[in-house]
Structures are given as structure tokens and as C-alpha cells.
A and B are shown apart, each in its own frame.
Chain A
């Protein structure tokens, strides 16, 4: 005899086995980790300005490159994936998320070939950021030009 569950029962069953999300905890962790990355960025910027005498705008660009490089390195070493699973937004919203998605795609698809694997899948995850960033910036710029001449 086939036991056909109705939708209500099924929903209850699904809810029972769903991993419980600890909302408050994940919020706090994201806040702390995201804040920490902002703090580290500020430390890097200030060190570059005071110790190396780099101009302010260049220091921001350097800090961006350093954070991307360290995010990329941590992904390649295999730490980042488990961290992203735990922290989520705290690591994805800073630029580390961008470098993580590019690096993990590069690592995963390299064995499928340099062109068909690495090349064609490189921007699989980060492509949407670049695409929608460029599209929105372009049309907002056109809008600004139309409004203010």
C-alpha cells in the first residue's frame, strides 16, 4: 500500500529535518567577521600611508589588492570554503567574496582543461557581479548626463 502524504504532512516532515538556522548567532558572527575585515582594511591603509608614504587613494587600491590576494590564498589553501559555510555574509560581502568565487572556480575546473575548464568557468560565479555592476554604472552614468548635462 502506498502511503500518500498530503501537502501539510509533507511540509511538517520537511520542517522537522531541515537544519535549524540560528538566526541571531549568524547575524552576530557576520557582523563581527565583516567588521573585522573592515578594521583590517583600515589598518592596512593606515600602515601604507604612514610607513610607506603612499598617497591616500593609492593606499585604498593597495589595500583592496592585498585583501583580494589574501582571500585568494586562503581559498587555495582550503580554509575559506568551510569558513564561508559558517560565516556566510561576513566573508561574501567584502571583496574577499569576489576573490573566493574566482579562485574556487579556477581550482575546481582546472582539471577539465585550460580552455574548456578553467577559461570558460573562470567567471561562472563572479561574472554576475561584473555584468550587473557595469550595466548599472553605465546606465546611471547616462542618466546623470541627461539630468545634469
Chain B
């Protein structure tokens, strides 16, 4: 098992190298530098060129890349031009809100999707099933930003139950923390729930009509145990994969939601870093997110063995 995990991490090195090279190249090739964001609209060409040169942006590509890569090997991921902190500090600061949001949204989606998926599969062809399938279809088709706007209009502007936007640290109180995160978490979680519901229903359908389920029923087991223990346990690897993908996408794909709800997370950081050409931050965030995605997938792979002992990772025979 340990050697399997080590192998997975070692295989990550070339991936990270290629990703870093491509991202650095793309940022290098895009016109404009941080001077535009610093100096503002009325800066002249000379002023822009002078500041970009002072910041080292006029150096050849390989020189800039080598200098950055050398720093990475020494634990220095570079310094943000705007945030007055190192890239690692920035990631540490902005990751908290994203992780909180992702966990909350994933909880919302799981609490809704798993029961709904199981009930829909159990009552296949019924009104409940049709409703679950239809609602999840709408959820998948609905653009996230539209749902965000709708939720904001309803719960903030009309009902005034929840704040419009913003973020409060956990240290400012759990109640405030949850109140500010609820709308964005719902906006993300409902879309994810739609996807997970469909996949849960589908994988449960695969197992609920298997012979061993029929056998368990014939032995007189209660329906709850048949569905939850024998059915759900065997459908779990597929559902787990979907949850892993969902959590990965929640961590890496919250740019729009974070922008609308003004949450200072990795999505917002990425967006502003691109606009400001804060090159080291872009690099750092992309590498971090790549690493995170791989780790999430690795954890999911390891969990396969927990939910289904027949799966033994790292064994060739």
C-alpha cells in the first residue's frame, strides 16, 4: 500500500513539471504585465514598459522560468506582486474559504443526493423516480451563476434571511461563518446533488436487481437492510468515484460562485491573479490545485479498498 502511494506521488512529478511549464509559457505569451494593474488606465507605454522591466518581466522566458523553478526546489514559490505575501502564504490564506465552501457544498449535495438517488432507484418508474430524474436534469442543465442569482434574490433581497455576499472566518463565530457560506454552498451543492443523484440512482439500479439481492430478500431480510447494506455497499465504489470527482471540482471550479458571493477563495485568487498578471500566484495556484486533485483521487482510490475488500490496490496478482 505504501509503495503504491509513493508511486502515485512520484508519477505526479512529471505532471507538475509539464503543467508548470505550459502555464508559465501561456502567461509569458499573453501580452501585458502586472504594471498595467498597478499603474492604471492612464499609464503611458513608457511607464508600463519601465515598471515591467523593474519587475523583471522583460527577461527571456527560459531565464524567468529557470529562476522560478530554482526557487520552487528551495521551497520558494515566488512572491505576489500585489498581495504583499509569498505565494505559499497566499495559497494558505485563500485555501481556507474554498475548502470550507467545498465541504459545506459537498455535505449539502450528499445529504440531498444519496437518499434521493436511493429512493429513485428503489421506486423505479414511480412518480418519485420521475420527479427525482426530472429535478436532477434541471439541476445539471441550470447554469451555476443563474442559480446563485436566484438564491441571492430570494433568500437575501426578498426574504432577508441570509447575507448577500461576503465571508466570515470561523474565528468570528460559527453562526456567522455558516450564515455567510450557506447561499454559495447551496448554489454549488444543488448542482452537484443533481449529478450525484443521477449516478447514485444508476449504480443502485445496477445492483438492486442482481441475484444476490433476490437471495437476501428470499432469506427474509428487512428491506432497509437489503437496500442500505447489501445494495448500497456494492454500489459504493461508483458513488465514491462520483463524490471524489464532485469534491475535486468543488475545490477547483468555484471561480464564478466565489466571484458572485465575494468569497476570498482560490477561485477568486486565480481570477484576480490572471487579470493582474500576477504570474507566480497563477503558477502556484495551478500547481497546488493539480496536486490537490491528484490527492483527492488517491484518497478515493484508497477508500475503494475500505468499502470493497475485494479491491486491493498495488497488488499485481
Chains A and B bind each other: no
Mark B residues whose CB is within 8 Å of A.
Answer: none
